[in-house]
Amino acid sequence: MRENIVAGNWKMNNDLAETQELLGQLKLQMVKEPEATVMVAPSFTNLYPTFQALKGTPVIVAAQNMHESKNGAYTGEVSADMLKSVGVSTVILGHSERRAYFNETGELLSKKVKTAIENDMKVIFCFGEELEDRKNDRHFDLVEKQLKEGLFDLPQSSWKNIILAYEPVWAIGTGETASPEQAQEMHKHIRTLLHKNVGKEVAENTSILYGGSVKPANAKEIFAKEDVDGGLIGGASLNAVDFIAIVNSF
Ligand code: PEP
């Protein structure tokens, strides 16, 4: 059985006071036993206060990035050990903003994924095509390339640590969402690729989240699709009422 997951990516939003306000709202809105595993990913500075505030709730705290090395002279970077020491053992890797603005390549992401797995961390691995790729009918190939570069050399045993997040770049923060049919078509393609490159069991058991302008008004329809196992939510995750409405959309 695949896990349904809704993860909120708070990106570079909210200082400490605003984070605490949002956490208070979240705890008020949260149902005791949500239909999905719920995760939130605050900025590095807000990880520990978030972890503390969510103790006793089922919400998992994730980081938005991580360095691939154990430690050393990497000014401004954060390691797996550091994350784990503040209660964080899930990390988002490969977000399109990191690929686009911080030049994160498939090769680098493959190293980061391996470091996370060596540290027994879970990875939400993001990938997805740009509008030009879709217009030129390259989206299926592009997604295959990103998965191949980042993940397909992992042994089967590592896949229990992997959550996939298909995020078409043209739908992120744009208000434009892939239709439920477009999401299903790509998720099915991804599952077929998993079957071919990793194995049947991994294909059946890996959660594939959709990300790109998910909101309460469209979550139900998207999550109802057979191969969509939840969502990675940006903008709407900054509002507790909207985020919990999305969590409750299964
Ligand atoms: C994201 O950044 O991962 C994302 C899906 O953002 P939004 O929901 O705002 O499109």
Report ipTM for this prediction: 0.97
Tell me the pLDDT tens digit for each residue of 170-189: 999 888 889 999 999 999 99
CA 193 to centroid of ligand 1, rounded, Å: 24
CA 73 to centroid of ligand 1, rounded, Å: 32
Ligand 1 nearest atom to the CA of residue 215, by list position: 8
Taking every pair of Cα atoms in the chain, the longest distance, rounded to a whole number of angstroms, is 48
Bind-site residues for substrate? 9-11, 173, 213, 234-235
Mean pLDDT (whole number) for 151-158: 97
CA distance 130 to 63: 24
- What's the confidence (pLDDT) of residue 170? 93
Give me the percent of the chain exceeding a pLDDT of 70: 100
Q: Is 226 a catalytic residue?
A: no
Mean pLDDT (whole number) for 53-67: 97
For residue 124, list its beta bridge partners: 92, 163
pTM of the model: 0.98
At residue 217, does pLDDT exceed 90? yes
Mean pLDDT (whole number) for 102-127: 98
- What's the confidence (pLDDT) of residue 31? 86
At residue 141, does pLDDT exceed 90? yes
CA 214 to centroid of ligand 1, rounded, Å: 7
CA distance 218 to 111: 35
> Which 8-state DSSP code applies to residue 63?
B
Q: Which segments within the chain are labelled E, that is strand? A: 5-9, 37-41, 60-61, 90-93, 122-127, 162-166, 208-211, 230-233
Structure tokens at 108: 């680098």
Task: Render the burial of 112-134: b for 16+ CB within 10 Å, e for the rest.
Answer: bbbbbbebebbbbbbbbbbeebb
Mean pLDDT of the chain: 97
Q: Which domains does the chain have, with CATH numbers?
A: 5-247 (3.20.20.70)
At residue 4, does pLDDT exceed 90? yes
Tell me the pLDDT tens digit for each residue of 196-210: 999 999 999 999 999
Ligand 1 near 9 CB (within 6 A) = yes
Cα torsion 95, 99, 105, 106: sign? positive
At residue 32, does pLDDT exceed 90? no
Ligand 1 near 172 CB (within 6 A) = yes
Q: Which protein residue's CA is at the shortest distance from atom 1 of ligand 1? A: 234
Q: Which protein residue's CA is at the shortest distance from atom 8 of ligand 1? A: 234
Q: Which protein residue's CA is at the shortest distance from atom 2 of ligand 1? A: 234
3-state helix, strand, coil in the chain (%, to 5): 50, 15, 40
At residue 60, does pLDDT exceed 90? yes
Ligand 1 near 213 CB (within 6 A) = yes
